[in-house]
């Protein structure tokens, strides 16, 4: 590792037009691990990350919560890293570490000063090759996960709406359960089941390693081979392929949350995979509806008619399907069904009238802004590279995604809204405060 | 599992093994040489109205950001608390020259954002829109248009927000903590409520804006893809006509700590977790000589990583929480709060409190290891280096130096000062800042689950006093806890279960006479007790002193009755006769008019769950408590007037013993005002030995 000398004054150098592009090298190891290297010597920082293609949707329906549980369990130690030592090794070497799980994947990463790149690689390779999965680790993390659920869901205002919406939108697909899963399932799981899950999913052919920041490409390649090359390849990992029947009649649900005083009404539509062009177009529909104070829903419901405390429309983009939701909290005496009526009116407008030229230009500017900001940190770039490779199947989207947005037409926006956002295709959730027990 | 510190030898070993494509994974890789750091300084200029501008050029991405910061000291708004936030909410809605809609539309069109608040504001856009961004931000900040319509809207939103936070356990906990730790007349101790927001008018907002939104103590930081000369020109053009003012200066009261550590409890009946915060106030500023040592001590105790003492104990060892931490942040205007806090499930609340205090005391009394100190210093080095990635870091450092009046080389010497902290320093500052003997332990949680154990916590050989507060920090009395009713329980089902438990309704309704003999304890004196009952409502109770004979007799023969105490005989009043006639003397439940009985709640009697029934009659209501587990009647309670005073009379029933297939409570303890009478039954007889003569 060479000495890195950083002068922040170096940021004064004029930048070339191509500087916005993220450059990288990628290749496969023999064991199937995909490796992506991105060099940026501006700051003495390097991120080492591994994304595994396993998430809540890969779980056994009787053992939900496994993928997220593993995110905790795989910090318990490896054959060469003692139990409870992981965090201390990272912090005593000046780094920070984190991990997160979603329906589709689990992501682990360390950010270090660049003189500790080799340490990061060693740690992630240890985690992949031989994590220690023992009863004591399982029992401890079981309690921690229960606390996380209490904190994030049970005791959290509006914390349960995701779980309720998923139950309504999905009846066959594993997206119907939540990432945090069921505490009962976790209690019932045996040590053998945990070990089998590790063997099945935590293999190099089911993962991508991304190293980004102040590195030297050739030296890094040698280190990658050193630590990851000898990890044995695993069996091919089956991918979930469950098809849902289209929603043809509106479904309604209700939920009482003891942590809130003000109710909310949520409508949700099941939309296609984030990889599809339709998903990009729906993102733009959502921007027109609710992004910014001049957006249609905000202007009408919060500003002019003063019917809503908060209102929004947003999509959750996932690998197999998407969820598109509108969310409204009433102001004062406004009824929930009146909010829905108003939101529906705006959706009908988008389905029947083309957006104006001005609105269209506004969209372009917004997405350009988003694109510029997306790649502003090494940590962010590493996560994007991993995601585009593993989940989208097209790593070049990190530079090209903006072109998809630039190519979408006003007509497409109208047509896609018409295709997916009809009342008979949706679910409605009344999210209500808990009723007081009668005295 | 081996983790070894590398030596030069091992480095060589690793190089060799790389060539052989065989790696010894048991050796943790050593770091390379540390990166060299050079901290740049922003360029700056000052406008004639006092606005100080700092510029950091960064041409990596074609974007720019503006950060406006008003350095006004905190103020007390008193019965208009919230005027500052409302003023902030009114800013950024266009100006006197651009309407709100046009303004919002233009900002959105550029894909930019402009947000203003009471303390300043933030704006970003692509660098190609820099001029327009500055123009719009300046216009809306300096030339706002405060309309009654917008004001009314924001006020209503504020009120809705307050309503929506009512059940939020974290926000209740935070509010009470600030109020108690700082005092309610302190800017950080006062809180915004429905009442104070309602008091605020549009005129108040105007006045607040005139007084406080001034350039005299303001800083504007510009970061991004722009050149200094251009920035100077554009900012001067648009911000120069911001009029100087002089924000009123008010003295801030001192926060005071409590004389002895105590629990301050707020009942939140729906909580599944308790929010625990141990807090004390201290003077703590960035230019204190102990600043760096205190940072290190706080990080070791509860600095956010899993390695902290609090997390190692509460999360890793015990699994009680998702995270526990401590915080000590400098404040240049007033005292800071040191806090150690966590959220834990109800059942372990008391244990968590004990362990938090243990860890604080540990760092106060025992020396940390040299290895731990070395680790923490390495963490500071690491964060310092990682922060260099962001151009905002330079501006943050420059702003801190200005605002806190720090020496110009503060950040150049930062790491050196961190490295100079010793083990003894850590112990010393822990005693200086973590005042575990003068702490408030603020707990917001479900009282019916946690209070009983909280009241038993021992600390330094004594129980920690528990004081009760409501959601607004007002002292209150200990709440009576009731639990949610399980499904399917009704007043009728409780009564049915009771009859089943004592032997069956059919059986008990056929009883003709009952006789009990035993003892009664009154003020330390044990008297002989005899109680006779005859269906439906005849009763007689006799108390016999071992030497003096009959000392009290109470009789009702179905039509009339009397009470005799010594030689004094007093007939029963008409009300008492009416009541006695209607009550079934054997088991009151046999004569209950169920239409006048309601199931109130599930509460606790002597540590066990019990259903509370309310019986409404002509006088005061009576409350009857039935054990959820056994079905037995365990307590009755009513209010009676005696000698011009209202008194609560309650009787607890226990020691149910069968006689002839029926369960009777063989112990009854009655509390009447300050007096307690205990009755112990030794023998019960059913349908024998009792005649009419007993009721004369």
B508/B33 Cα distance (integer angstroms): 90
Residues of chain B neighbouring A222 (CB-CB closer than 8 A): 18
> Which residue, among B64, B109, B325, would best test binding to A if mutated, counting the most A CBs under 10 Å from its CB?
B109
Asked whether the beta carbons of residue A262 and residue B163 sit closer than 8 angstroms, the reply is yes
Question: What's the rounded Cα separation, in Å, for the pair B299 and B320?
Answer: 21
Cα(A398)–Cα(B352) distance, rounded to whole angstroms?
46
Lowest average pLDDT, out of A109-123, A258-272, A308-322, B26-40, goes to: B26-40
Question: Do the beta carbons of residue A226 and residue A117 sit within 8 Å?
Answer: no
What residues of chain A lie within 8 A of the CB of B369, using their CB? none
Q: Please give, rounded to a whole number of angstroms, the shortest distance from the CA of B400 to a CA of chain A.
A: 19
Distance, C-alpha A1 to centroid of its chain: 33
Closest to A232 in 3D by CA, of A262, A266, A272, A203: A203
Distance, in angstroms, between B649 CA and closest chain A CA? 22
Asked if A205 and A29 touch (Cβ cutoff 8 Å), the reply is no
pLDDT in tens, A164-200: 999 999 999 999 999 999 999 999 999 999 999 999 9
User: Residue A352 CB: number of other CB atoms within 10 A?
Assistant: 10
**How close A246 comes to chain B (CA, Å)?**
36
Length of chain B: 696
Q: Do B3 and A373 touch (CB under 8 A)?
A: no
Q: Do A122 and B18 touch (CB under 8 A)?
A: no
Mind spelling out the 3-state secondary structure of B226-278? CCHHHHHHHHHHHHCCCCCCCCCCCCCCCCCCCCCCEEEEEECCCCCEEEEEE
Cβ separation of B382 and A42 shorter than 8 Å?
A: no
Question: Contact at 8 Å (CB) between A129 and A233?
Answer: no
Q: Is the pLDDT of residue A277 over 90?
A: yes
d(CA B292, CA B511) in angstroms, rounded, equals 82
How many of the other CB atoms lie within 10 Å of CB of B187?
Answer: 19
Q: What average pLDDT does the structure give for chain A?
A: 90
What is the chain B residue with the closest CA to A330?
B160
Interface contact B382-A229, CB threshold 8 A: no
**Is B591 within 8 Å of B582 (Cβ atoms)?**
yes
Paired tokens of B213:
């939104």
Q: What phi and psi values does residue B476 have, to the nearest 5 degrees?
A: -145, 175
List of residues 6+ apart from A422 with CB closer than 8 A: none
Nearest CA in chain B to A293: B104
Distance CA A364, CA A358 (A): 10
Question: Is the Cβ pair A147, B321 closer than 8 Å?
Answer: yes
Alpha-carbon gap: B316 to the closest alpha carbon of chain A (Å): 7
Name chain A contacts of B382, Cβ cutoff 8 Å.
91, 93-96, 112-113
> In angstroms, what separates the C-alpha of A23 from chain B's closest C-alpha?
14
Please report how the helices B228-239 and B130-142 are oriented relative to each other, as an axis angle in degrees rounded to 10. 30
Q: How far is B352 from chain A (nearest CA, A)?
A: 13
CB contact under 8 A, A142 and B60: no
Whether the Cβ atoms of residue A269 and residue A343 lie closer than 8 Å to each other = no
Q: For residue B246, count CB atoms less than 10 angstroms from its CB and return exposed for 0-12, middle for 13-18, buried for 19 or more.
A: exposed
> Which of the residues B304, B311, B384, B386 would you substitute to probe the A interface, choosing the one with the greatest number of A C-beta atoms within 10 Å?
B386
Instruction: Using 50 as the pLDDT threshold, list the residues of chain B that sit under it.
Output: 1-10, 12-21
Measured CA to CA, the distance from residue B654 to residue B679 in angstroms comes to 10
**B595: number of Cβ within 10 Å:** 8
Provide, as residue numbers in chain A, all residues whose Cβ is less than 8 Å from the Cβ of B161. 309
Residues 6+ apart with CB under 8 A from B560: B571, B572, B577
- Which pLDDT does position B223 carry in this prediction? 93
Cβ contact, residue pair B343, A147, below 8 Å: yes
How many contacts does A have with B, using Cβ atoms within 8 A? 274
Q: Which of A412, A82, A118, A120 is nearest to A276 (CA)?
A: A412
Chain A: closest CA distance from residue B437 (Å): 29
How far does the CA of residue A117 sit from the closest CA of chain B (Å)? 8
Q: Residue B603: phi, psi to the nearest 5?
A: -135, -160
Phi, psi of B25 (to 5 degrees): -70, -15
- Are B157 and A331 contacting, i.e. CB atoms less than 8 angstroms apart? yes
> A154 near A191, Cβ under 8 Å?
no
Q: Strand, coil or helix: what is B444? A: strand
Cα separation, A77 vs A66, in Å, equals 18
Nearest-CA distance B590 → chain A (Å): 25
Note whether A227 contacts B105, CB cutoff 8 Å.
no
pLDDT at residue B644, rounded to an integer? 52
Q: How far is B59 from chain A (nearest CA, A)?
A: 6
Could you report how far apart the first and last alpha carbons of chain B are, in Å?
Answer: 90
By Cβ distance, the residue of B3, B318, B385 closest to A44 is B385
Q: Which of A260, A332, A365 sits opposite B156 (nearest CB)?
A: A332
Instruction: For residue B695, give the nearest of B573, B548, B536 by alpha carbon.
Output: B536
Are B59 and A12 within 8 A, CB to CB?
Answer: yes
A147 → closest Cβ in B36, B305, B345: B345
Cα gap B329→B338, rounded to integer Å: 8
The dihedral built from the CA positions of residue A417, A422, A425 and A428, taken in this order, carries a sign that is positive
Residues A370-384 pLDDT 10s: 888 888 889 999 999
Cβ-based contacts of A14 with chain B (< 8 Å): 59
Q: What are the DSSP calls for A249-294, one per residue? A: S-EEEEEEETT-SS-EEEEEEEEE-TTSHHHHHHHHHHHHHHSSTT
Question: Helix, strand, or coil here: A337?
Answer: helix
Q: Is the pLDDT of residue A11 over 60?
A: no
Q: Give B169's contacts in chain A (Cβ within 8 Å).
A: 155, 259
Per-residue pLDDT at B638: 83
Cβ separation of B322 and A92 shorter than 8 Å?
A: no
β-pairing, A207-213 vs A34-39, is parallel
Query: Which chain A residues touch B105 with a CB distance below 8 Å?
Result: 294, 358
When CB atoms are compared, the residue of B3, B38, B378 closest to A8 is B38
pLDDT at A8: 29
* Secondary structure letter of residue B588 according to DSSP: G
Q: What is the ipTM of this complex?
A: 0.82
From B397's Cα to the closest Cα of chain A, the distance in A is 14
- Chain B residues in contact with A146 by the CB 8 A cut-off are 345
Cα separation of the two ends of chain A = 72
Contact A91 B379 (CB under 8 A): yes
- The partner residue sitting opposite A144, judged by closest CB among B108, B111, B315, is B315
Per the CB < 8 Å rule, is B163 touching A369? Answer: no
From B567, B555, B550, select the one nearest B531 (Cα to Cα): B555
How far is Cα A259 from Cα B270, in angstroms, rounded to an integer? 8
The residue to which tokens 């230009």 are assigned? A361
Q: How many CA atoms lie within 13 A of B135 on its CB side?
A: 9
Residues on chain A touching B341 (C-beta within 8 angstroms): none
> Which residue of chain B has the CA closest to A93?
B378
Looking at beta carbons, which residues of chain B come within 8 Å of A79? 1, 25
CB atoms within 10 A of CB A423: 14
Contacts of range B152-157, beta carbons closer than 8 Å, 24 or more positions apart? B153/A303, B153/A306, B154/B86, B154/B89, B154/B90, B155/B86, B155/B197, B155/B198, B155/B200, B156/A306, B156/A331, B156/A332, B157/A309, B157/A331, B157/B89
Note the helical H segments in B264-413. 291-302, 309-310, 349-365, 370-387, 392-403
**pLDDT tens per residue, range A75-88:** 999 999 999 899 88
Please name the residues in contact with B465: beta carbons below 8 A apart, sequence gap of 6 or more. Answer: B260, B262, B263
How far is it, in rounded angstroms, from Cα B689 to Cα A365?
A: 99
* Structural tokens at position A14: 């004029």
* Contact call for A372 and B63, based on CB within 8 A: yes
pLDDT at B193: 94
Would you call the peptide bond into B175 cis, given omega within 30 degrees of 0 as the criterion? no
Neighbours of B551 (CB within 10 A): 16
Residue B647 has a pLDDT of 65
Report field, pTM of the whole predicted structure over 0.80: no
Nearest to residue A220, comparing CAs of A114, A126, A130? A114
Instruction: Give the distance from residue A171's alpha carbon to the nearest chain B alpha carbon, in angstroms.
Output: 29
- List CB contacts (< 8 A) between B389 and chain A: 42-43, 45, 377-378
Q: Would the CB atoms of B21 and A3 count as touching at under 8 Å?
A: no
pLDDT for residue B4: 43
Count helices and strands in chain A by DSSP H and E runs: 15, 12
- Rounded to an integer, what distance in angstroms lies between the CA atom of residue B309 and that of residue B368? 11
- Please judge whether B160 and A299 are an interchain contact, meaning their C-beta atoms are less than 8 angstroms apart: no
Contacts B35 to A, Cβ<8 Å: 3-6, 44, 113-115, 214
Determine the pLDDT at residue B35: 78
Q: Which residue in A14, A150, A366 is closest to B272 by CB distance?
A: A150
Contact A294 B58 (CB under 8 A): no
């Amino acid at each position: 590792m060479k000495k890195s000398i950083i002068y922040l004054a170096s940021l004064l150098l004029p930048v070339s037009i191509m500087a916005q592009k993220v450059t990288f090298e990628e290749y496969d190891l023999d064991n199937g691990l995909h490796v992506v290297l991105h060099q940026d010597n501006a700051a003495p920082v390097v991120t080492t990350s591994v994304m595994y293609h396993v998430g809540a949707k890969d779980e056994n329906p009787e053992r939900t919560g496994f993928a997220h549980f593993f995110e905790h369990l795989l910090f318990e130690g490896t054959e060469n890293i003692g139990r409870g030592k992981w965090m201390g090794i990272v912090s005593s070497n000046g780094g920070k570490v984190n991990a997160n799980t979603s329906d589709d994947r689990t992501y682990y990463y360390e950010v270090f000063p660049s003189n500790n790149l080799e340490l990061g690689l060693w740690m992630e390779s240890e985690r992949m090759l031989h994590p220690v999965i023992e009863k004591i680790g399982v029992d401890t993390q079981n309690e921690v996960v229960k606390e996380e659920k209490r904190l994030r869901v049970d005791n959290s205002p509006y914390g349960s709406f995701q779980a309720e919406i998923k139950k309504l939108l999905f009846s066959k697909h594993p997206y119907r359960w939540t990432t945090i899963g069921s505490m009962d399932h976790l209690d019932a799981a045996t040590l053998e089941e945990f070990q089998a899950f590790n063997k099945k999913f935590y293999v190099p052919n089911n993962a991508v390693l991304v190293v980004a920041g102040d590195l030297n490409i050739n030296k890094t390649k040698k280190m990658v081979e050193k630590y990851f090359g000898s990890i044995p390849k695993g069996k091919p990992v089956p991918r979930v392929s469950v098809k849902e029947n289209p929603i043809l009649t509106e479904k309604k649900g209700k939920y009482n949350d003891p942590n809130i005083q003000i109710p909310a009404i949520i409508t949700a539509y099941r939309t296609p995979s984030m990889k599809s062009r339709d998903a990009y177009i729906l993102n733009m529909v959502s921007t027109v509806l609710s992004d910014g104070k001049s957006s249609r829903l905000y202007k009408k419901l919060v500003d002019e008619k003063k019917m809503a405390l908060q209102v929004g429309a947003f999509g959750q983009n996932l690998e197999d399907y998407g969820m598109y939701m509108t969310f409204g909290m009433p102001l004062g005496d406004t009824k929930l069904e009146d909010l829905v009526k108003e939101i529906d009116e705006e959706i009908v407008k988008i389905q029947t009238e083309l957006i104006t030229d001005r609105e269209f230009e506004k969209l372009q500017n917004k997405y350009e802004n988003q694109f510029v900001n997306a790649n502003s940190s090494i940590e962010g770039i590493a996560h994007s590279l991993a995601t585009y490779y593993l989940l989208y199947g097209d790593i070049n989207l990190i530079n090209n995604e903006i072109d998809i947005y630039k190519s979408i037409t006003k007509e497409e926006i109208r047509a896609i809204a018409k295709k997916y956002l009809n009342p008979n295709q949706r679910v409605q959730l009344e999210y209500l405060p808990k009723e007081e027990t009668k005295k | 599992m081996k983790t070894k510190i590398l030596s030069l030898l091992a480095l060589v070993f690793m190089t060799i093994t790389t060539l052989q494509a065989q790696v010894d994974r048991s050796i943790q890789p050593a770091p390379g040489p540390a990166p060299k750091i050079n901290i740049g300084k922003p360029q700056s200029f000052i406008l004639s109205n006092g606005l100080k501008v700092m510029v950091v050029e960064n041409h990596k991405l074609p974007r720019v950001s503006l950060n406006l910061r008003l350095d006004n000291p905190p103020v007390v708004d008193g019965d208009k608390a919230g005027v500052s936030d409302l003023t902030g909410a009114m800013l950024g809605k266009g100006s006197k020259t651009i309407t709100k809609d046009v303004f919002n539309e233009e900002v959105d069109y550029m894909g930019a954002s402009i947000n203003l608040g009471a303390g300043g504001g933030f704006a970003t856009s692509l660098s190609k829109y820099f001029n327009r961004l500055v123009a719009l931000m300046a216009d809306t900040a300096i030339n706002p248009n405060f309309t009654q319509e917008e004001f009314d809207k924001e006020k209503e939103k504020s009120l809705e927000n307050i309503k929506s936070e009512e059940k939020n356990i974290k926000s209740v906990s935070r509010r009470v903590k600030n109020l108690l730790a700082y005092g309610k007349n302190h800017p950080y101790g006062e809180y915004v409520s429905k009442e104070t927001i309602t008091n605020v008018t549009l005129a108040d907002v105007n006045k607040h804006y005139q007084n406080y939104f001034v350039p005299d103590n303001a800083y504007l930081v510009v970061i991004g893809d722009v050149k200094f000369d251009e920035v100077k020109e554009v900012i001067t053009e648009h911000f120069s006509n911001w009029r100087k003012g002089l924000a009123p200066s008010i003295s801030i009261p001192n926060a005071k700590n409590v004389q002895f550590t105590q629990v301050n409890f707020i009942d939140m009946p729906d909580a599944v977790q308790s929010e625990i915060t141990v807090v004390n106030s201290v003077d703590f500023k960035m230019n204190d000589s102990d600043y760096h040592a205190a940072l290190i001590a706080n990080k070791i105790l509860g600095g956010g990583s899993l390695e902290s003492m609090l997390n190692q104990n509460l999360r890793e060892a015990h699994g009680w929480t998702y995270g526990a931490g401590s915080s000590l942040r400098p404040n240049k205007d007033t005292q800071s709060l040191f806090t150690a806090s966590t959220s834990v499930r109800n059942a372990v609340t008391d244990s968590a409190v004990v362990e938090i205090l243990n860890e604080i005391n540990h760092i106060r009394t025992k020396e940390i290891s040299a290895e731990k100190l070395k680790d923490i210093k390495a963490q500071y080095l690491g964060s310092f280096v990682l922060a260099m990635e962001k151009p905002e870091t330079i501006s943050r450092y420059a702003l801190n130096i200005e605002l806190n009046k720090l020496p110009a080389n503060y950040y150049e010497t930062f790491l050196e000062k961190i490295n100079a902290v010793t083990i003894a320093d850590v112990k010393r500052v822990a005693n200086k800042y973590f005042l575990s003997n003068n702490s408030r332990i603020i707990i917001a949680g479900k009282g019916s689950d946690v209070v009983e154990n909280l009241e038993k916590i021992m600390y330094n050989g004594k129980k920690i006093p528990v004081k009760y507060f409501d959601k607004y920090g007002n002292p209150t009395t200990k709440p009576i806890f009731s639990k949610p009713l399980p499904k399917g329980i009704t007043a009728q089902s409780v009564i049915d279960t009771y009859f089943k438990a004592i032997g069956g309704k059919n059986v008990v309704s056929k009883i003709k006479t009952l006789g009990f003999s035993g003892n009664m304890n009154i003020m330390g004196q044990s008297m002989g007790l005899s109680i006779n009952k005859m269906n439906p409502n005849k009763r007689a109770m006799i108390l016999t002193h071992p030497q003096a004979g009959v000392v009290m007799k109470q009789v009702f023969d179905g039509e009339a009755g009397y009470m005799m105490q010594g030689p004094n005989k007093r007939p029963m009043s008409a009300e008492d006769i009416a009541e006695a006639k209607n009550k079934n003397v054997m088991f009151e439940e046999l004569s209950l008019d169920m239409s006048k009985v309601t199931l109130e709640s599930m509460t606790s009697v002597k540590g066990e769950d019990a259903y509370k029934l309310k019986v409404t009659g002509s006088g005061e209501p009576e409350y009857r408590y039935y054990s959820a587990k056994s079905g037995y009647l365990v307590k009755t309670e009513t209010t009676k007037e005696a000698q011009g005073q209202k008194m609560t009379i309650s009787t607890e029933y226990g020691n149910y013993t069968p006689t002839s297939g029926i369960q009777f409570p063989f112990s009854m303890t009655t509390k009447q005002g300050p007096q307690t009478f205990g009755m112990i039954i030794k023998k019960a007889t059913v349908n024998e030995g009792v005649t009419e003569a007993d009721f004369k």
